[in-house]
Chain A
C-alpha cells in the first residue's frame, strides 16, 4: 500500500505563497479500513494464509522436509490408508495414504497462485478495455461494452467450465479460463470510473499542455480511478478462488495429484460416512480464504467509496 510521507516537508522557496500540505486519499483510506473490525480480521486471515503458503515447506530455501506441512503432500503410504486424525496425521490420511493436513497446507499455494495470476491478468486486460472504452467513446465504447454485456450474460462459472473443460485441465488453462471470466466486471468498474474522471478539470489541463492519449490515460485517469478498482480486485480474488474450487471439484480444474482444495473435497466425498474430515476440512479452508478476501474487500469498499461509509 502506498503510504504518503505526510505534508510536503519544505516547500521550494519560489517567493510565492506556501504550498498547502498535499491531501492524501490513501491515508484516509487506510485509516477508515483499520477502523473496521471485520476488515482487519479479513486482512489478518489473508496475511496468515500468505505466511502459511510461503512456509508450507522450505524447499525453496534448500531445506526440504522442514516447514509447516508435516508430510510430503504427494507422498503415498499404503500402510496408512484412510486413517483417522492422530498425532502422526493431524487430519488423517486419504484413500491412498496421503496426509490431509499437509495437502491442505500446500493447497494454500495453489489457491493464491491461481487467484493472483487470474485476477491480475483479468484486471490488466479488463482495465485496459474499460479505459479505452471510456476514453475514446463512440464505436470503441459500443463494441467493448457490447462484448462485456455478452460476457456478463453468461454465468461466470459457465464460461469457465466451457473454456477449462474443452481445453482440458491444468493450472495454466484454469488461470486462463478464470481470467477470461473475470474481465467483464473489471472492465465495467474501470469504464464507469474513467467516464467520471474524464470530466475533471485536471484532464482538461492535461490536454491544454498537450498530453497525448496514452500519457493522459496512464498518468492522469488510471491513478485517479485506482482505489475503486482495488476493491474490485480484492472482491475478485474471493470470487475466483471459489470458482477454482468449484472447477476442481467437478474435475475440470487443477488436475490430480496436485492438492487443490476443490479436488480434495471431491475425493473425500466417497468416504463421507467413515472419514468426513477428508471433505470437510479442505472446504473449511476454502471458506476461510474467501471470507478473508470478502471482508477485506468490504472494508476497502467502505473506505474507498464515501457514499457507502457506515453502510456496513
Chain B
C-alpha cells in the first residue's frame, strides 16, 4: 500500500510539472503583449508612441528579456515560495487577487459538486431499480437534456423566468454572506442549479448504466438465490459495485464544474476565478492566466490522486495493476 501511494504521488507530481511546462510554453508562444496593453491600453496612437528604450526598460523590469528557460525556472522557483507573480495589468500581487476570488469559486463549486454527486447517484440508482417505469423514462429524459443544455443558456433561461418574469430572485451579483445572508442565498440559488445540473445528469446516466450492468452479474443472482433481503442486495452488492466507475468519473465532473464556473460567473456577475480569468484573457495578462490554469490543474490532479489512493485502499486489485 505504501509503495502504491508513493508511486501515485510521484506520478501526480510529474503530471503537475508537465502542466506547468505546458501552460508556460502556451502562454509565451501566444501573440499579444501585456506590456503594450498595460502601457497604452487599446489606444493605437499611444502604442505607436512607446519608445524602444521605455519598452526595453519595462521588459527588463518584468524579467521578460531573459531566455525562455530562465524565465520558466524563475517562475517555478517563485511558485515554490508561494509567489504567483504580479499582474501586469492590475499591478497587484496575483496571490492576493486569487486569495480574494478563489473562496467564492470554491464555495459555489463545492456545493454544486456535492449536490451533483448525491443527486446524480440517487437519481441513477432509482432509474435502474425502477427500470422501464415512467419514473425511469422521465428521469432519463431529463438527464439526457441535462448533459445537452448549454450551462450559460440555462442560466439566462432561469434568470428570465425567476428574476424577470416571476421576480422571485435577484438577477445576478454577489453579496458577502456575512453582510446579508438572505440576499446571498437568494443570489446563489440559480448559479448553483446551473453548476450542478451537468453533474447530476452525467452521474445519473453513468450510475444507471453501471447499476444495470451489475444487476446482471452472477453474484447478484447468487445473493437473490440465497434469500438475502432486497435492501441488502441493492446496497451491499449492487450499489457498492456499481460505484467503481462512478467514483473514477468524479474527477472529471469536478473539472466540468470548474470549467462551467467560468461561464456561470460571467452570466451571473460573480467576481470569482472564472471572471478574473476571462478579464485577464482580454487584457492579455498572461501571468494571471497561467497562475489560474495552474491552480485549476493542481486541484484536479490532487482530486484524482485522492480518488486513486481511495481506490487502492478499497480495492486491493488496483494496487498491483
Asked whether A157 and B147 contact (CB < 8 A) given A165-B282, A166-B26, A166-B32, the answer is no
Taken together as a complex, chains A and B put the C-alpha atoms of A45 and B40 apart, in Å, by 49
Contact A155 B259 (CB under 8 A): yes
| Residues 224-275 of A at the B interface (beta carbon under 8 Å) | 238, 242, 245-246, 249-252, 262, 265, 269, 272-273
B156 adjacent to A310 (CB under 8 Å)? no
**Do most interface residues of chain B lie in helix, strand or loop, or is the interface mixed?**
helix
B56 interface residue (CB < 8 Å to A):
no
Establish whether residues A287 and B278, one from each chain, have CB atoms under 8 Å apart when the complex forms.
no
Contacts of A269 on B, CB cut-off 8 Å? 156, 267
Q: How far is the CB of A188 from chain B (nearest CB, A)?
A: 12
Partner of B266, one of A146, A150, A250: A250
Binds B, one of A1-9, A214-222, A288-296: A288-296
B residues near A310, Cβ cutoff 8 Å: 212
Per the 8 Å Cβ criterion, residues 19-78 of B in contact with A are 19, 22-23, 26-27, 30-32
The reply on B159 being an interface residue by CB < 8 A is yes
| Chain A residues closer than 8 Å to B289, beta-carbon distance | 162, 165-166
Given A146-B18, A161-B277, A162-B27, decide whether A272 and B262 contact each other with a Cβ distance below 8 A: no
B160 interfacial by beta-carbon distance below 8 Å: yes
Where chain A touches its partner, the secondary structure class is helix
Question: Is there an interface contact between A154 and B284, defined as CB atoms closer than 8 Å?
Answer: no
From the candidates A153, A158, A238, A287, name the one contacting B259 in the complex (CB within 8 A): A158
- Give the CA-CA distance A12 to B30 in the complex, in Å: 61
Which residues of B are found within 8 Å of A151, using beta-carbon distances? 22
Contact A154/B148 with A166-B26, A168-B32 known, Cβ cut-off 8 Å: no
CA distance A183 to B148 in the complex (A): 21
Chain B residues with CB under 8 Å of A162's CB are 23, 26-27, 281, 289, 293
Selected interface stretch from B79-87, B223-231, B294-302, B310-318: B294-302
Nearest-CB distance from A52 to chain B (Å)?
18
Are A150 and B15 in touch, CB under 8 angstroms?
A: yes
> Is A153's CB under 8 angstroms from B150's CB?
no
Q: How far apart are B218's CB and chain A's nearest CB, in angstroms?
A: 15
Question: Pick the contact of B31 from A146, A157, A167, A280 — CB < 8 Å?
Answer: A167
A65 to chain B, nearest CB (A): 31
Residues of A contacting B258 in the complex (Cβ-Cβ under 8 angstroms): 155, 158
Are the C-beta atoms of A246 and B284 separated by less than 8 Å? no
- Cβ contacts under 8 Å, B27 to chain A: 162, 166
Which B residue sits closest to A310, measured CB to CB? B212
Q: How far is the CA of A308 from the CA of B211 in the complex (A)?
A: 11
CB atoms of A287 and B284 under 8 A apart: no
Q: Is the CB of B15 within 8 A of A146?
A: yes
Q: With a CB–CB cut-off of 8 A, which chain A residues contact B148?
A: 238, 242, 287, 290-291, 294
In the bound complex, do residue A157 and residue B32 qualify as a contact, i.e. CB atoms below 8 Å apart? no
Which residue of the partner chain B has the closest CB to A242?
Answer: B150
Residue of A nearest to B213 (CB): A311
* Pick from B152, B156, B160, B284: contact of A166, CB under 8 Å: B284
Q: Does B209 contact A (CB under 8 A)?
A: yes
Q: How far is the CA of A155 from the CA of B297 in the complex (A)?
A: 8
Q: Which of A154, A242, A283, A308 contacts B297 (CB 8 A)?
A: A154
Q: How far is it, in angstroms, between the C-alpha of A101 and the C-alpha of B30 when the chains are bound?
A: 37
**A49-76 Cβ-contact flags toward B at 8 Å (1 or 0):** 0000000000000000000000000000
Contact B26 A286 (CB under 8 A): no
Question: CA A168 – CA B300 in complex, angstroms?
Answer: 27
5 contacts between A and B (CB under 8 A): A155-B258, A155-B259, A162-B289, A166-B27, A279-B153
- B: which residues have CB within 8 A of A? 11, 14-16, 18-19, 22-23, 26-27, 30-32, 144-145, 147-153, 156-157, 159-160, 164, 208-209, 212-213, 255-256, 258-260, 262-263, 266-267, 277-278, 281-282, 284, 286, 289, 293, 296-297, 300-301, 304
